[in-house]
Homo-oligomer: A and B are copies of this chain.
Amino acid sequence: MPTGADQMIETAVAAGIDVCFTNPGTTEMPLVATLDRTPAIRSILGLFEGVVTGAADGYGRVTDSPALTLLHLGAGYGNGIANLHNARRAHSPIVNLVGDHATWLVDHDPPLASDIAGLATPGSAWVRTVATAAAMGTDLAEAVAVARSAPGQIATLVVPVDCQWDDASGAATTPIAAPVAPSASTDSVGAAARALAAGEHRVLLVGGRALRARGLRAVERIRRHTGCRVYCENFSARVERGPDLPTVRSLPYFPEMALDALADVTHLVTAGTAAPISFFAMPQLDGRPELTPEGCRLLALTSDTDDVEASLEALADELGAPRSVAPDARPAPVVPDAGALTPASVAQAVAALLPEQAIVVEEANTSGINFVMQAPAAAAHWGLQLTGGAIGMGLPLAFGAAIAAPDRRVVALQADGSAMYTLPALWSMAREGTDVTIVLYTNRRYAILQVELMRAGITDPGPIAQSLTDLSHPDIDYCAIAGGMGVDATRATDNEQFVAALERSLATPGPSLVEAIL
């Protein structure tokens, strides 16, 4: 007799799901028993749910298709919230399955009970609690369709354990197709064309899928034809880069710099992102978070659910921009010579040595801008960035990206403070033998907070503020930790050591870590 768990997993396979990242518990055992008989889905253990959800984000960014996560009750979901927040901001498709107590137990409030749907609502586009075993397949089908709907969404199903083990004979296991994303309306395209046509003092701000090859080429056609300025959002789910692709610089992160950059703008058109506002507030903004000057006209080319790439192509066509644009000349890569290791020299080395079609996961925080500056010199690659600002994304995202693209090298540019959040991702990399090179930037501080303290006027922090932004006392030995998780690690204190270690890591199958002492 097929159980509800069987019908759910059969539906998932029929819908094309092939990976489940999980840390299951007692309330998920019937689903584990079904997965045990389902080789079509690769079931992958993470030793902490932040690893599980971050991996699903990485998988979703690379494949545009949802992985399953299988999580244990509200506590397990809770541990996954931070990386689901990043995934939501990245518009990654994910289907979370969260086991719950039996329908006839949960109201008695046993120790592990919590309001799972309540916890899931802030971060999920769609939440449903399965009511019966017969609904397990149909609810899963709907969740997958929601996840695949533009621009990519998080769907969370709460799955009581009795719905998993009860008989579901005869229940449906038919997938549901996601709606196809439409192009922007003719009106929107026409309005955007009129706004940008004059060029000077006009800005096109792009994000999301505009930063993929097709979108970037359309953006470049628009820019060259109109003379408008182009910026991209600060942090993007996936930026495609390469010698034959146009580059787009991002709007400055700090609001006073962004305000300067946009001070003269009369018209700003957005595609794949919202109108620009400050990432954080500061008193000097005086209650006004908009980064555009007063009086600037704002137009959105696309809605959240539109096909951004097709819309940009329609805009380029509407403007009469030539179809093809020759790429700009690129800087030559430079391998840094012997000398002090700095965030800039690390970025130079990574850009110079990066293999073709690498996937670069960028959670280097204050050190990260250096790689973005060096990236035009690198071989063709994708950059996956910290979209939601919830630190601890990098290692799990790199792991999930490597599962999604086993034929590509993943390079994780990882800040030390953020790495502490999700260390068990290293163990999953070792277990699954993923080809991941981790470049760890060890500066032994939350550097961004030291900057923010200064910006808040605290130029001479006392011992308490210092201790709360400092990661030394004691120094953390990341190489020992990585080794403890089964990942080979090398420490580098100068450029020569770093280049040698990076070359070795990139040439060695499986995961390895290169620590850059800055």
Contact = CB atoms under 8 A, between A and B. Distances in A.
Interface in A404-457: 417, 420-421, 423-424, 427, 430-431, 448-449, 452-453, 456
B108 A289 contact: yes
B122 A277 contact: no
A89 B73 CA distance: 15
A296 to B, nearest CB: 15
Contacts of A35: 464-465, 468
A43 B431 contact: no
A411 B238 CA distance: 46
B388 A111 contact: yes
Interface stretch (A99-107, A181-189, A256-264, A305-313): A99-107
Contacts of A448: 26
B78 A280 contact: no
Interface string A453-490: 10010100111110110110111111111011110000
A295 interface: no
A468 B289 contact: no
Contacts of A75: 81-82, 85, 388-391
Contacts of A461: 36
Contacts of A431: 473-474
Given A277-B105, A431-B474, A74 B122 contact: yes
B27 A280 contact: yes
A456 B33 contact: yes
Contacts of A176: none
A478 B484 contact: yes
A60 B290 CA distance: 43
A22 interface: yes
Contacts of A484: 476-481, 484
A123 B112 contact: no
A471 B4 CA distance: 28
**What is the count of identical protomers in the complex?**
2
Contacts of A478: 484
A281 interface: yes
Contacts of A39: 464
A475 B94 CA distance: 30
B108 A79 contact: no
B79 A421 contact: yes
A391 B72 CA distance: 11
A456 to B, nearest CB: 5
A215 interface: no
Nearest to A81: B78
A119 interface: yes
A44 B392 CA distance: 20
Query: Which 4 A-B pairs rank lowest in CB-CB distance, beginning with the nearest?
Result: A78-B81, A474-B486, A102-B281, A75-B390
Given A33-B465, A477-B485, 15 more contacts: A36-B458, A43-B464, A43-B468, A47-B421, A101-B280, A102-B289, A104-B288, A108-B277, A109-B274, A110-B277, A112-B280, A165-B283, A165-B456, A427-B476, A480-B480
12 contacts: A24-B449, A27-B280, A29-B456, A29-B458, A33-B456, A35-B468, A85-B112, A109-B274, A112-B390, A162-B281, A480-B480, A480-B484
